[in-house]
């Protein structure tokens, strides 16, 4: 009997629909090669959903997403919605809502440097060739969600902007567990990054990670590192890292910095996992409004996001390996503009998809 996987596709704004078209072609190839069937449901998220329904994510779309096995998203946002002061109507609010509703607390962001792209990094080849870091970023708590928050008038005049960094022991333990489990399947090393020197939430983070490590994961090498030092070490000697465990805010910044070590934003996938429900898979990059509609966006981050969905939500690790190998092979010949170098064929979004499909065979 053919296995059917329910996959929700949310192309989103800007280059989202262009890169998602290539994801669909790869899915069709997988159906043929692995004898599975994808029951695909498509929906709107972000600015396009706001234009159509007056909200960046409707309850109906959310319900379909919840009923799927995996959600593959493109990207949201664009300058036409930038001026919106109504935060719950902004494109990003759709993304925050789906993460919150699905309780996606673990954001996995690999920073891998394909050998073919080592020269595209801002660091020298010897520092980045073979780089393979996995960021495990807490996604459902911390300063992006903590209360109180807001902008208030001060009694004597002037205003104050308030956000609250807040973590419970349970939130820390569940994300640390993901990091230790991932490390066991990789290089067996976790760096836990916080600011225990100046923040109580950081101190609690360090204490809870230490306790969990001693109780259940003493076979994994654990190092605590201050988040600012982690930023420096990422630039100085990035290959010392295997898994980096960190909170929502520091993870946002550190993983973006690491992203640039790998050559291009257009190459980087991510996964957001909860406890049991569908995972959300999306490129790290945004909607790239500067190149949207031109057919030149790099679809690789989106295709590698599909590969992560295959591995973490659909139990198709073999297919994930095949897709990643095909991307690596395709890079030996074809390149989109963001990663193009002398000696390679310069292709557009579809051309990159063609090269990956050709490498898949």
Catalogue the active-site residues: 144, 195, 228, 252, 256
Choose between 202 and 353: whose C-beta lies nearer to ligand NAD.
353
Pairing of strands 3-12, 345-346: unpaired
Does residue 323 belong to the site contacting ligand NAD (CB under 6 A)?
no
Beta partners for 70?
Answer: 7, 279
User: What whole-number distance in Å separates Cα of residue 203 and Cα of residue 208?
Assistant: 9
x-marked contacts with ligand NAD along 252-281 as a string, rule CB under 6 A: -------------xx---------------
Pick between residue 81 and residue 312 the one whose CB is nearest to ligand NAD.
Answer: 81
- Helix (H) / strand (E) element for 225: namely strand 221-226
How far is Cα 28 from Cα 162, in angstroms, rounded to an integer?
A: 48
Which residue stretch of 1-9, 107-115, 139-147, 295-303 sits at the interface with ligand NAD (rule: CB under 6 A)?
295-303
Residue 318 known to bind ligand: no
- Please measure the distance between the N-terminal and C-terminal CA atoms of the chain and give it in whole angstroms: 25
Q: Determine if 76 is a binding residue for ligand NAD (CB under 6 A).
A: yes
Applying CB under 6 A, among 11, 77, 263, 278 the residue interacting with ligand NAD is: 77
Any contact of residue 110 with ligand NAD (CB under 6 A)? no
Whole-angstrom CA distances from 141 to 26, 179, 311 are: 34, 16, 25
Identify the DSSP state of 141: S
Q: Which one, 202 or 269, has the nearer CB to ligand NAD?
A: 269
CB of 89 to ligand NAD, least distance (A): 14
Residue 75 is a binding residue for ligand NAD (CB under 6 A): yes
CA-closest candidate to residue 271, choices 77, 72, 81? 72
Q: Is 301 in the site for ligand NAD (CB under 6 A)?
A: yes
CB 299 within 8 A of CB 22: yes
Q: Tell me the three state secondary structure of residue 113.
A: coil
Q: Which residues pair with 273 in a beta bridge?
A: 106
Q: Does 285 bind ligand NAD (CB under 6 A)?
A: yes
Binding residues for substrate: 99, 109, 137, 228
Binding residues: 99, 109, 137, 228, 252, 256, 286-298
């Amino acid at each position: 009997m053919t296995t059917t996987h329910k996959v929700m596709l949310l192309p989103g704004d800007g280059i989202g629909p262009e890169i998602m078209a290539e994801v669909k072609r790869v899915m069709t190839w997988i159906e043929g090669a692995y004898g599975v069937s994808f029951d695909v449901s498509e929906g709107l998220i972000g600015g396009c959903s706001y234009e159509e329904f007056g909200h960046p994510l409707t309850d109906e779309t959310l319900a379909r997403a919840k009923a799927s096995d995996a959600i593959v998203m493109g990207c949201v946002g664009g300058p036409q919605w930038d001026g919106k002061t109504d935060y719950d109507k902004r494109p990003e609010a759709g993304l925050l809502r789906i993460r919150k509703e699905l309780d996606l607390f673990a954001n996995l962001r690999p920073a891998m440097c394909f050998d073919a792209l080592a020269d595209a990094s801002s660091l020298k080849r010897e520092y980045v060739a073979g780089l393979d870091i996995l960021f495990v970023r807490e996604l459902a708590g911390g300063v992006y969600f903590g209360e109180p928050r807001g902008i208030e008038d001060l009694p004597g005049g002037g205003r104050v902007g308030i956000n609250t960094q807040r973590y419970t022991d349970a939130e820390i333990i569940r994300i640390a567990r993901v990091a230790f489990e991932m490390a066991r399947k990789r290089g067996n090393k976790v760096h836990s990054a916080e600011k225990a020197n100046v923040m109580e939430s950081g101190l609690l983070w360090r204490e809870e990670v230490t306790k969990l490590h001693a109780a259940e994961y003493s076979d994994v090498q654990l190092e605590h590192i201050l988040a600012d030092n982690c930023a420096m070490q990422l630039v100085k000697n990035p290959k010392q890292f295997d898994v980096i465990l960190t909170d929502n805010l520091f993870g946002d910044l550190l993983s973006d910095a690491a992203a640039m070590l790998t050559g291009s934003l257009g190459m980087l996938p991510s996964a957001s996992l909860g406890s049991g429900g569908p995972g959300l898979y999306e490129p790290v990059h945004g909607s790239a409004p500067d190149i949207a509609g031109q057919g030149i966006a790099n679809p690789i981050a989106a295709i590698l996001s599909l590969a992560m969905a295959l591995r973490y939500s659909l139990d198709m690790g073999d297919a994930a390996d095949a897709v990643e190998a095909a991307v690596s092979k395709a890079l030996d010949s074809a390149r989109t503009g963001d990663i193009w170098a002398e000696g390679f064929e310069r292709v557009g979004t579809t051309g990159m998809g063609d090269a990956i499909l050709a490498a898949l065979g």
